[in-house]
Structure 1
Amino acid sequence: MIECGVRISEVCEIRDEDIMNNQIIIRKSKNNKDRAVAVSPILKKEIIKYQRIKKRKYGLLEGNPFIVSNLGKKLNEKSIWQIIQEIKKQIDIRDCVRFSGHTLRHTYTSMQLRNGLDIYTLSLNMGHSSIKMTQRYVQTLNSEDFIEKSIKTSALMNLR
């Protein structure tokens, strides 16, 4: 979720055939539109490992769900929420700190911008209907997050 910025509801609906070499197709997301999210080389490596384990343990599954429970059944939103809460306990995050699927989505957004992704592409990745929605996610960024990037892209520094 933190690597692709997908919603919990979208994770539940990913099927094996939605996983491609360098992208995952997210079908009928919140705006009832399909979109693609990028698969980085490190995520691809983890997907391949997971697929091998899943195939060895469960074989072919009805409906081809990508993410499954330890019983080989498609996970639902409540199950993923419970997994996230268990992770929160294991990494010892204080109770007063919000840690949720949506927190991971916000973190993805901030990290993508800090790493140089433009807001238009980010908006498409997140499945937002407009850039204005994406801008709401990034209101918490401070000047240090964009000053260094602004210097790197300076018009005077990059004259040709």
Structure 2
Amino acid sequence: MLLEDVLEEFIFDCKLRRLSEKTIKGYRNNNLRFFTFIKKEYDIDDLGKIQGNVINAYIAYLTSIGRKPSYINGIIKSFRAFYKYCENEKYVSRNPMNKVNFQKQGKTLIKTFNDKEVRDMVRYYGSVRYLDIRDKLIMVMLLDTGIRNSELCGLLISDIRYDHILIRGKGNKERVVPISPILNKILIKYKRVRNLYIKDKFAYQIEYLFLSQKGKKLTPETVERVVLECAEACKVRKTIRCSPHTCRHYFAQAQLKNGCDLYTLSRLLGHSNINITKIYLQSMDDERVLDMGVKTSPLMNL
């Protein structure tokens, strides 16, 4: 069977399983790049001709051009998902991924905003214009709830409850995050200004909490731009990647610093595996870990 034909089947199956657009795009692109490589190097375009040594040769190539182990492991995950589908459909008698191992990764250190930068970014938007109040709420919600970019864009007005927000995360799994007094204050103001802004103007997509200037559902690209512009205006350090996901990193590290346990944090972040959450603990410096240890000392809290 031709590789690209099977890939299209696999992608269609991913859509039926309601995987995120980002995941599906990654699966498609990662596999297509591999297909291009083996066509050029080995003249292979048939599923049945791929063996483990061919896949390992591609991984060796990625290593030779300087790709990091974390990047390569993402590629391997895409291949494993593809071949699991092929195995289930009986397209292959042997899964070549059984002979492919993940790369050993070093300790992951996550760099994020410091407290001063966050204070400056939260205070940056001070106008009473709809877009400024919207952008202020975006920044506060990202930093105060750890919500993902795509989740934020998909929020409905009805998802905002009395004391919590209902979030539909990866794999359509639902979770709740609390609404702090600071977040609630800005939410109340935003909903009032939002209602005045859309009144008699728009009749579509107004069920979404965050709307564009034209009254449409906000896109992840717009949120990326809001965070970047805010961070640049507040002179965030050049070594920090200014993105919505960095806001999520800040939320996670701040929660741990303030005494939140890993299990609770894992649920707030919507992680399927607590091992993912542990990365944030590994990224904390020794001084912070010692401070947390003193605050949670069993005898000091008797």
TM-score above 0.5: yes
Show the counterpart of 2:66: none
Show the counterpart of 2:258: 115
Which residue identity is paired with 1:56? Answer: L
Which residue identity is paired with 1:62? Answer: Y
Q: Which residue among 241, 263, 275 is the counterpart of 1:98?
A: 241
Q: Which residue among 190, 204, 220 is the counterpart of 1:77?
A: 220
Structure 2 stretches of 5 or more lacking a match?
1-141
Q: Distance in 1 between matches of 2:191 and 2:301?
A: 45
- SS class of match (1:37): strand
Which residue identity is paired with 2:215? Answer: G
Q: Distance in 1 between matches of 2:147 and 2:285?
A: 24
Show the counterpart of 2:176: 36
Are 1:51 and 2:191 matched, yes or no?
A: yes
Q: How many pairs does the alignment contain? A: 158
Which residue identity is paired with 2:231? Answer: K
Q: Indicate conservation of the 8 Å contact 1:21/1:44, yes or no.
A: no
Q: Indicate conservation of the 8 Å contact 2:210/2:217, yes or no.
A: yes
Deviations 1:91-150 (A, max 9, x none): 123444311111100000000111111111110000001111111133210122121222
Alpha-carbon offset, residue 89 of structure 1: 2.1
Q: Percent identity?
A: 39
Larger radius of gyration: 2
Are 1:6 and 2:147 matched, yes or no?
A: yes
Q: Distance in 2 between matches of 1:150 and 1:97?
A: 28
Alpha-carbon offset, residue 42 of structure 1: 1.1
Structure 1 stretches of 5 or more lacking a match?
none
* Bigger helix share: 2
Deviations 1:11-55 (A, max 9, x none): 01001000011111012x123201111110110110000000000
Q: Indicate conservation of the 8 Å contact 1:114/1:145, yes or no.
A: yes
TM (norm. structure 1) is 0.91
Worse-superposed segment, 112-121 or 140-149: 140-149
TM (norm. structure 2) is 0.50
